[in-house]
Chain A
């Protein structure tokens, strides 16, 4: 059973058309939920960490929110340079270095 499920798999928007990406997770205890951006041929680039339900973080046109079962990445008035794959990842609580568990990502295309 997947611990992290992202939807939609792909999304095509017009420049300026706002939308949201979803990340659903199932873990026994959440240490942190992470959003990364990945451009073609590059490694993921850190965007946000969220720790508890109700938390929100913003950066330019992006806003991440967290509930007990899912996280949303809201994109407001996107520009073509926002085109990328957006990855969600979780780290479970319980000690130890178990790494991050990533979803498959949402491939976002912003058309001019």
Chain B
């Protein structure tokens, strides 16, 4: 059984650019959530996808968008990057939409915006 994998592991971008982060869910999981973790902070919920549709969203602007594919893999897209977008981006999968089910996190993508 494979775990949650994210790519790339590290990324450097400049302000104003666009970035796409990728996530492969754990086998058998149909729900994926994305979190942003700034240095020294806890993860902050961005959004959740279930069966290819956005199922819930945290307090993030529309320039943060996502996709979920039929194989339940997912992408996080961020447009018009700002310096404050520098953070660890975590993907988490679960076996259903009920978030009280435990989440399985990937190791994250460390994004630096210069």
Contact = CB atoms under 8 A, between A and B. Distances in A.
Interface string B68-101: 0000000000000000000000101000010110
Nearest to A105: B42
Given A43-B4, A89-B42, A103-B42, A98 B58 contact: yes
Interface in A59-108: 87, 89, 91, 96-105
Contacts, number: 68
Contacts of A43: 4, 90, 92, 105-108
A104 to B, nearest CB: 5
B41 A99 contact: no
Contacts of B45: 98-101
A109 interface: no
Nearest to B4: A43
Contact of B107 (A34, A41, A98, A105): A41
A4 B107 CA distance: 23
Contact of A98 (B40, B42, B56, B105): B56
Interface residues of A, number: 26
Contacts of A46: 102-104
B24 interface: no
Interface in A11-51: 31-32, 34, 36, 41-46, 49, 51
For A87, A100, A103, which residue has the most chain B Cβ atoms within 10 angstroms? A100
Contact of A99 (B40, B48, B50): B48
B56 A99 contact: yes
A42 B99 contact: no
A91 B100 contact: yes
Closest A-B pairs by Cβ, 8 of them: A99-B45, A97-B56, A43-B105, A102-B42, A46-B102, A32-B100, A97-B55, A97-B48
9 contacts: A32-B99, A36-B105, A43-B90, A46-B103, A91-B99, A97-B48, A97-B55, A98-B56, A102-B42
Given A46-B103, A98-B56, A99-B58, 13 more contacts: A32-B100, A45-B105, A46-B102, A46-B104, A49-B100, A89-B42, A96-B56, A97-B50, A97-B99, A98-B45, A98-B99, A99-B33, A99-B45
